[in-house]
Chains A and B, each alone.
Chain A
Amino acid sequence: MKRGFIALVQGVLLSLIIFSGTEVSAETGRETHGQEGEGLPAEPGEAGSDPKISFHGYGEFHYNNPVVEGTGLPDEDLLPTLDFHRLVLGWSYYYNDRLSLHAEIDYEHAAQELELEFAYIDYLITDAINVRAGSMLMPVGPLNEFHEPTLFYSVERPYVQRTIIPTTWSSGGFGFFGQPLQGVSYRIYFVEGLDATGFSENGIRGGRQVLFEDENHAVNFGGVGRIEYTGLPGFVVGASLFSAGAGQGTPGLGNARVTLWDADLRYRIRGFDVGALYAQSRVRGAGEISDLIRLDPDRAEETVGSEQIGWYVEGAYHLASLTQSQYDWVPFIRYERIDTQASVPSGFVKNPATDLKVITYGLAFYPHPDVAVKVDRERWDDEAGGDGNRTNAALAFMF
């Protein structure tokens, strides 16, 4: 309740800021809806305008209807739900041409949960090297940094990029980024590590730390980096690596460490959009971590895998490139494999239910490049014989 109230107050404050921001810009004549050209959408910003502060955001409103067999889930978990999963408000402030602040606040599940998505300062030096510091999105996988819901076609984010790469994942630290060569860009940060006490048989996702003094343990730091090649229009190939200690001062976990890497590519050409990703993590000290979490009587059987592996391939087609319409329909299909116990520490037994296959197919409709209506169906089955499906729909937008 208290969190919800704080979220509400924050929301009101933020919208006041946005509102007053609009007034200011109207006063200085930067309002862009000219009297001429009525009926036409306004140009992004206005040519020559140079506002110091700008707002952006995105949101996704989900309908999920799961049918799961063989899981023993209580019945109420199988009823359809509506969830305003995320409403994110962000802003950038430019102190000058080199120094800027970027922040986003995430009101999750209809503002029941409040999260600082990121808040960092960029200092631009040259193309090849620039500095970033603060709470930053980890550059791992293609989605974590660019996760606006209009950038992917499914209602939910790909499983691999939730389970193996724990999107949305941010951490505190500093680092460098830039483009040393034409088409090649990199990010490399020095950041706080994960907290192993949050790991589970479903992977490392629970180990993401909140930058809140009562919950955060900043004992282990490490590095994260990503390199991308975007030299061909529509094409990107990237690779990421994260490695940091994860014990965070918990007795017995001094040895714990997570190394996570991924390789991914995506190519969009003549309306076709194909992509693939492979991600793998290794958890050192998984045995000690498993011993620790088993102290919880509800989790006495649970094992943290010493290796997690996931990959997917996907394809989509933009019908607008056939119809030449400004409305775009995008049918898509994705096949994923996720195994959060690809190997287990010696002396522990693998739970076959953690080895999943997922097929997701559906249709996304874009009335505008920044607004999407999505419908899809997920079918999954695990090695333990459980299977299920889920029908989803979403309204997604960004601005």
Chain B
Amino acid sequence: MNECYRRIRYLMGSFFEVTAYGEKESCAKGVIAAFTEIARVERLLSVYRPQSDLARLNAYRKGGTLSVDPELFEVLAQSILYSEKSGWAFDPTAAPLIRLWGFGPGGERSIPPEKEEIAALLDRIGFQHVRLASGQIELLKEGMEINLGGIGKGYAIDRAVEKLREQGITQAMISCGSTIYALGAPPDQKGWRIDLQHPRREEGRIGTVYLCNQALSTSGDYEKYFIFEGRRFSHLIDPRTGCPAEGIAGVSVIASTAMEADALSTAVFVLGKPAGQVFLKRFPGAEGLIVEEERDKELSFHRTEGWERSPAGPSFSRRRFLALASMAMIALFLPIQAEAAVVYLTEEEALRKMMPEADRFDPHPVDLSADQLAEAQKLAGRAFREDDYRFWVGRKGEEAVGYAALLEVVGKERPITFLIGIRPDGEIRGVEVLVYRESRGSEIRNPRFMAQFVKKKIDNPLRLGDDVESISGATLSSRAATYAVRKALAIFEVVFKKRADRHEAVGSPFH
């Protein structure tokens, strides 16, 4: 049996997602090994753990050399290579600049910093001021610090892929944020299909690539930015000038490892189109798609020669519509691969949207006992068998700010995937549709429809036409959403509320 096995963990301050095809048991084993490996890399590269090598090095500030873990040394050596080849456009010592511009932890800002402030920092930025030799590292300037956040996740993905390989898994994908590694291809397909987001239109796509034993990373100025006097200042800062790089809206790079893809996409973004294209040629197997933004906000698309042919266009013109329409017709006659239906939000996006104040989301699998199942069914008003559910606890520090449940309920014929957010006191915070699979009824995504559920509790009727109005033409989907909310509240009540009542502490269902 070739099953699809998919798990998500929150590590290194982000969500890692592993999807693997194969025997369920070996997939589960491989995925656990992969997550364990990522956790190990987190400890190795963390700057926040006071005892970590990097934290000690950064605390050292000036003078003296430090012996570091050989693996960390290797990662640093590789980083300095990318840094050097890019003419220091990629630079792991730029963290103070990123903080100054308000993209670090804490301090957001809406106006650029003063020139003097930037100049004061520039002095201690630059990987060229770091010396690496025989297992030892030396920072040549006072106040320097190294942060491997930029390529650390790529490195963690590469290591985790190794673990999957060791477990005999040959068809898998690991992703974190905008970095992905594709191991092999899904059954009967040429590769893992990746849609590339349009840098200026939230729901638009600029192309599709199929990856097989390749990594892809995207850097875009739309990820984190602020706009001041009509100019966009993004988190992608040129360490040479101390200011956000301009002229590029987004860069996607395909490379043989995730770490390389991570480093190259950042470097190309900073370098800009001509220099970036030249730079990419120095890395065998690396290909890039660069989206340039002219002064008049026109976008132009530039691919390296080996980049897979992919449809791209900056505006929704009539020609584009016709092309799309004819594509759609051609698609009918082509062999079609099974792939996700319309995925509106990933779990991570939905969790963040639901609980923006949370700084992390702890997965909390729920396995209902026979008694709990019976009680949940009674509260939900329907009979169901499934006793395994995925919940998350959103936390800010140690405080639980909310809960979320992932539920699938059949609309007319196919399951709709919902994420339902619940406040610690048992009121609905919000409902999001993550995946919709039918041709009719996705109108329930309408925020006005979903807003009807906010503040609902288990003792509300939660009935269509009573306290919830359906979307016309989407009655069955409306009904499914209403039931999903009721079911989520029922399970929440049975699992979390009961415990909280007993311990009088909703905050920590684990302790």
Bound CA span A320–B469, Å: 13
A45 interface residue per 8 A CB criterion: yes
Interface flags for B382-421 (1: CB within 8 Å of A; 0: not) read 1111100000000000000000000111111111000000
For chain B, the count of residues having a C-beta within 8 Å of the partner chain is 62
A318 touches B342 (CB 8 A): no
B324 touches A98 (CB 8 A): no
Stretch at the interface among A46-54, A285-293, A357-365: A46-54
Task: Point out the residues of chain A lying under 8 angstroms from B378, CB to CB.
Answer: 37, 40
Stretch at the interface among A1-9, A163-171, A263-271, A387-395: A263-271
B331 touches A47 (CB 8 A): no
Stretch at the interface among A67-75, A212-220, A227-235: A227-235
Look across to chain A and name the residue whose beta carbon is closest to the beta carbon of B461. Answer: A324
Bound CA span A131–B331, Å: 9
Contact A96 to B443, CB < 8 A, known contacts A45-B410, A233-B470, A369-B479: no
Contact A320 to B466, CB < 8 A, known contacts A36-B373, A56-B413: yes
B446 interface residue per 8 A CB criterion: yes
A118 interface residue per 8 A CB criterion: no
Partner of A40, one of B337, B382, B469: B382
A45 touches B415 (CB 8 A): yes
Q: Assign chain A's interface to a size class.
A: 35 or more
Interface flags for A265-301 (1: CB within 8 Å of B; 0: not) read 0101101000000000000000000000000000000
Bound CA span A123–B337, Å: 12
- Name B136-188 residues within 8 Å CB distance of A: none
Task: Point out the residues of chain A lying under 8 angstroms from B479, CB to CB.
Answer: 44, 369
A221 interface residue per 8 A CB criterion: no
Look across to chain B and name the residue whose beta carbon is closest to the beta carbon of A95. Answer: B336
B463 interface residue per 8 A CB criterion: yes
Look across to chain B and name the residue whose beta carbon is closest to the beta carbon of A150. Answer: B475
Task: Point out the residues of chain B lying under 8 angstroms from A41, CB to CB.
Answer: 381-383
A42 interface residue per 8 A CB criterion: yes
Task: Point out the residues of chain A lying under 8 angstroms from B119, CB to CB.
Answer: none
B409 touches A44 (CB 8 A): yes
Stretch at the interface among A79-87, A175-183, A335-343: A175-183
A48 touches B443 (CB 8 A): no
B382 touches A96 (CB 8 A): no
Contact A49 to B325, CB < 8 A, known contacts A230-B474, A324-B466: no
Task: Point out the residues of chain B lying under 8 angstroms from A234, CB to CB.
Answer: 469-472
Task: Point out the residues of chain B lying under 8 angstroms from A228, CB to CB.
Answer: 472-473
Known: A142-B472, A228-B473. 6 other contacts (CB 8 A): A40-B377, A51-B413, A96-B338, A233-B478, A234-B469, A320-B466
Measured CB to CB, the residues of A under 8 A from B are: 32-34, 36-38, 40-51, 54, 56, 92, 94-100, 102, 121-127, 129-133, 142, 146, 151, 174, 176-177, 179, 182-183, 185, 228, 230-236, 266, 268-269, 271, 318, 320-321, 324, 326, 328, 369
- Minimum-distance CB pairs A-B, first 4: A45-B410, A236-B472, A37-B377, A234-B469
